[in-house]
Chains A and B, each alone.
Chain A
């Protein structure tokens, strides 16, 4: 008999026990481990996906930021360019202003030089005219020029209108009955007496008269008191000479200025061209 029924029963029991043992030691443990690993891997994948999304978002953020920075940079550049342009214009204007100032200063200094030259010329011309005139009058009329001047001055005093005389008299009084006579040359004693007497007669009796010599006057006599003044001098003649000289000089200066200005305009244009470059 190939089949031993006791063995069959024993094998059935053995098999069932083996099923139970393997369920406990093999299948359940292995399946649990696999499920757990699967879960972990899925979690990890999900996390990776999440991180990828996050990193994508981050990348997008940085890309946007970069664009923003680029725009900002462009804005700043544009602004700087505008500022530089403004600065250039301002500087050009300043330079032009400076040139203008320099020119004004130069003109002023030329004016000053002209004025001082004219003053010197006036004095020199006055002296020369005085010297020439005195000699000429002396030679021709054999008469002292200074005496003629005193004579003319006195004549002028006498020929004054009444109101003028009164005005002068009041000025004398205001100054405490004092008057000053200034002349461009030394007056002799008799001349002084003559002038004093005439003043007493014509203007005010008790006036105290002081005499001064002033080379500025060059040739002439004047009486001064309390702001009023009566004068006769070579000044008027010299004035005419001065005027004529000045006119001549100014004409010359204007011609020079016109020439200079035309030169400056061309220079200014050159400066502007360089700036725009």
Chain B
């Protein structure tokens, strides 16, 4: 069973250039490609925006996307999107574009690499306390780990870590498997059927982008909102007494 090497499972092993510990592998190169594409595309459209009606089709597309994300964030966090949009929105768009571009022949999605998904999951793992501390203060944020009792501290920490791991592995597994299934099917049935699987892969990719972003938002929101709910509860108590 040597037909699927580790090289084929991870894009990290496709190395273009190496200098000591620094290696320019496929993951990084394709990430750059996706980033450049997104930035260039955005710049081309947004450099001459219309602030009145009518507006161009492309501008309309971007506005629909941004407005949709704002709406989604507003619904989940129950507050104004503010700076959440930059972080969560970029997560969503990066994963979405990476996954959709897999239909381009020769392109390999960077999200199919566990390194990329781990990196993104670490970003979320770091963003949760950052947003939490920004909204509740340092002690306020730490206190949520010992709630409802001190006994819950280890479970809270384990939960925090495990969900980050789950985030990384879920995305990696889905995208990687999608790519690999197509590769395997091409070996078995060369025509038509792989196309259907590819289409399914696209759908999975879009759904995964949405899930990743929504989960990130939920984690951040839970870190910032717990405090507010508590405050609300205290207020209610005060009113009752």
Instruction: Give A contacts to B, CB under 8 Å.
Output: 2-12, 14-19, 21-23, 25-27, 29-34, 36-37, 40-41
Inter-chain contact B52/A15, CB cutoff 8 Å: no
Please name 20 pairs of A and B residues whose Cβ atoms are closer than 8 Å in the assembled complex, sorted by A: A3-B115, A5-B115, A7-B116, A11-B115, A11-B118, A11-B120, A12-B119, A12-B122, A14-B28, A15-B120, A18-B94, A22-B93, A23-B86, A23-B90, A26-B66, A27-B66, A30-B59, A33-B50, A37-B53, A37-B55
The CA of A40 and the CA of B49, in the complex, are separated in Å by 14
Inter-chain contact A19/B87, CB cutoff 8 Å: yes
Closest 4 pairs between A and B when the two form their complex, measured CB to CB: A11-B119, A7-B115, A36-B51, A29-B46
Q: Pick the contact of B119 from A15, A27, A40 — CB < 8 Å? A: A15
Which residues of chain A come closer than 8 Å to B42, judged between CB atoms?
A: 22, 25-26, 29
A29 and B49 contact, Cβ closer than 8 Å, known pairs A14-B32, A18-B38, A21-B39: yes
Chain B residue at smallest Cβ distance from A15: B123
For the residues of A in contact with B, the DSSP-based class is helix
CB distance from A44 to the nearest CB of B (A): 9
Which residues of chain A come closer than 8 Å to B148, judged between CB atoms?
A: none
Interface: B31 (CB within 8 A):
yes
Which residues of chain A come closer than 8 Å to B46, judged between CB atoms?
A: 25-26, 29-30, 33
Add 17 more A-B contacts to A4-B10, A26-B38 (CB < 8 A): A3-B115, A4-B12, A6-B21, A6-B22, A6-B23, A7-B115, A8-B115, A9-B119, A11-B118, A12-B119, A15-B91, A15-B94, A15-B119, A16-B123, A18-B90, A23-B90, A36-B51
A3 and B118 contact, Cβ closer than 8 Å, known pairs A18-B94, A19-B87, A34-B63: yes
The CA of A265 and the CA of B116, in the complex, are separated in Å by 127
Which residues of chain A come closer than 8 Å to B94, judged between CB atoms?
A: 15, 18
Instruction: Give B contacts to A, CB under 8 Å.
Output: 6, 9-10, 12, 21-23, 25, 27-28, 31-32, 35, 38-39, 42-43, 46, 49-53, 55, 59, 62-63, 66-67, 85-87, 89-91, 93-94, 110, 113-116, 118-120, 122-123
Q: Pick the contact of B39 from A6, A11, A22, A27 — CB < 8 Å? A: A22
For the residues of B in contact with A, the DSSP-based class is helix
CB distance from A94 to the nearest CB of B (A): 78
Chain A residue at smallest Cβ distance from B50: A33
The CA of A2 and the CA of B10, in the complex, are separated in Å by 7
Inter-chain contact B27/A7, CB cutoff 8 Å: yes
A22 and B49 contact, Cβ closer than 8 Å, known pairs A7-B25, A11-B31, A14-B35: no
CB distance from B22 to the nearest CB of A (A): 7
Chain A residue at smallest Cβ distance from B10: A2
Which residues of chain A come closer than 8 Å to B122, judged between CB atoms?
A: 8, 12
Which residues of chain B come closer than 8 Å to A27, judged between CB atoms?
A: 66, 85-86, 89
Chain B residue at smallest Cβ distance from A23: B86
Which residues of chain A come closer than 8 Å to B53, judged between CB atoms?
A: 37, 41
Inter-chain contact B90/A15, CB cutoff 8 Å: yes
Q: Pick the contact of B35 from A17, A31, A41 — CB < 8 Å? A: A17
Which residues of chain A come closer than 8 Å to B113, judged between CB atoms?
A: 7
The CA of A12 and the CA of B120, in the complex, are separated in Å by 7
Which residues of chain A come closer than 8 Å to B123, judged between CB atoms?
A: 12, 15-16
CB distance from B187 to the nearest CB of A (A): 22
Inter-chain contact B59/A33, CB cutoff 8 Å: yes
The CA of A256 and the CA of B122, in the complex, are separated in Å by 141
